[in-house]
C-alpha cells in the first residue's frame, strides 16, 4: 500500500472507477467484511444487495474512508487509496450519499449546492445538474429542511453530481419515499449514469435495483455470495439468501 500520494497499485490494468480487493473492515475489534472483492467499471451501475447486517453500509463506508481498512486494497480510477483519508478519496472522484441523505438541513438549497461544487468548475455545471433535478429549481432559496423527503434525496444526488465524481455510492436511496417519488429518483439516477458517472446502489427494493443495474453483488454475513449480471441471478435463491440460506446463483441444470 502507499500513503496519501494516490500511486497506482501494481497490476491495475482495467479501468475500474472503484476497485476493492480482499477487503476486511469493521468497527473496533469487530470484523464485518471478510475478503470482499468489488469492481465498479467506469460508467457502470452496481446493485449491492443483502439482508440487514450483511455489511452493505460498512462496505460503502470503507470505500469512502470512513471505516478503517483492516486488510486489502482500495483503488479509485486505478490509483491506490487504501490508506488515504476521506477528503483525498473525494478529490479522487468518489462521493458517498449516506443513509439519511447527508445534506445541511439548516442551509438553503442554493447554499447546499454551492458548498459541494469545486470552485474550478464552471457555473454551467450547476445548471446542468438542475436539469436532472428540475424539482429543485423552484426551491433554490428554501431551507433544505423544509423540502419533502424525495426532494431532499434529489438534493443529495444533485450535490454529489456537482462534486464532479467518477463514482457515487448511494445508501438506501428510496428509504421512506412514496412509489411515485421513487420513480423520479431512479429517473434522475439514470441521467447520472447516462452522463458517465459510475454508481453503487444499496437499495431495499430489490427488483428495482436489479432492473436498473449492470451488475449485482450480494453480501451475506460480510462475504460475497454472488457477483454477476442480473440475468444470472436466481430471484428465488436471492430471497433465500436474505433469509439466511442458499446462494443467489441461477440454476443452470
Residues of the chain with pLDDT under 70: 1-15, 100-101, 116-125, 236-237, 239-253
Q: What CA dihedral angle connects 118, 93, 62 and 224, to 10 degrees?
A: 150
Q: What is the pTM of this model?
A: 0.82
Q: Is the dihedral of CA 194, 168, 219, 173 positive or negative?
A: negative
85 within a domain of the structure (yes/no): no
**Residues with Cβ within 8 Å of residue 208, at least 6 apart in sequence:** 174, 182, 186
**What is the total count of domains within the chain?**
1
pLDDT reported for residue 125: 64
117 within a domain of the structure (yes/no): yes
19 within a domain of the structure (yes/no): no
197 within a domain of the structure (yes/no): yes
84 within a domain of the structure (yes/no): no
146 within a domain of the structure (yes/no): yes
pLDDT reported for residue 252: 42
- Distance CA(208)–CA(211), nearest Å, equals 5
Closest CA to 39 of 65, 59, 57: 59
CATH code for position 239: 3.40.50.300
DSSP at 134: G
Domain that holds residue 181: 41-67+94-243
pLDDT reported for residue 163: 79
* Chain length of the chain: 253
168 within a domain of the structure (yes/no): yes
Going across the sheet that includes 45-49, the strands are 94-97, 167-171, 198-202, 45-49, 215-220, 223-228
pLDDT reported for residue 128: 74
pLDDT reported for residue 83: 95
What b/e readout covers 30-61, taking b as 16+ CB neighbours within 10 angstroms? eebbbebebbbbbbbbbbbbbeeebbbbbbbb
7 within a domain of the structure (yes/no): no
Bridge partner list, 41: 16
Strand, coil or helix: 209: helix
Distance of CA 197 to the CA centre of its chain: 11
Amino acid at each position: 500500500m502507499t500513503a496519501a500520494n494516490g500511486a497506482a497499485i501494481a497490476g491495475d490494468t482495467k479501468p475500474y472507477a472503484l476497485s476493492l480487493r480482499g477487503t476486511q473492515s469493521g468497527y473496533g475489534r469487530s470484523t464485518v467484511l471478510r475478503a470482499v472483492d468489488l469492481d465498479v467499471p467506469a460508467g457502470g451501475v452496481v446493485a449491492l444487495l443483502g439482508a440487514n447486517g450483511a455489511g452493505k453500509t460498512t462496505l460503502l463506508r470503507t470505500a469512502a474512508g470512513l471505516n478503517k481498512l483492516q486488510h486489502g486494497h482500495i483503488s479509485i480510477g486505478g490509483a491506490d487509496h487504501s490508506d488515504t483519508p476521506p477528503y483525498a478519496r473525494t478529490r479522487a472522484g468518489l462521493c458517498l450519499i449516506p443513509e439519511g441523505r447527508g445534506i445541511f438541513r439548516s442551509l438553503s438549497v442554493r447554499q447546499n449546492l454551492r458548498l459541494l461544487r469545486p470552485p474550478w468548475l464552471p457555473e454551467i455545471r450547476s445548471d446542468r445538474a438542475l436539469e436532472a433535478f428540475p424539482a429543485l429549481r423552484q426551491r433554490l432559496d428554501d431551507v433544505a429542511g423544509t423540502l419533502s423527503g424525495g426532494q431532499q434525496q434529489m438534493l443529495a444526488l444533485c450535490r454529489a453530481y456537482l462534486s464532479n465524481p467518477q463514482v457515487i455510492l448511494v445508501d438506501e436511496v428510496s428509504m421512506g419515499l412514496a412509489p411515485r417519488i421513487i420513480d423520479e429518483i431512479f429517473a434522475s439516477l439514470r441521467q447520472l449514469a447516462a452522463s458517465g458517472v459510475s454508481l453503487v446502489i444499496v437499495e431495499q427494493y430489490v427488483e428495482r435495483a436489479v432492473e436498473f443495474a449492470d451488475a449485482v453483488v450480494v453480501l451475506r454475513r460480510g462475504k460475497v455470495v454472488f457477483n454477476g449480471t442480473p440475468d444470472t441471478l436466481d430471484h428465488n435463491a436471492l430471497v433465500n439468501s436474505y433469509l439466511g440460506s442458499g446462494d443467489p446463483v441461477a440454476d443452470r441444470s
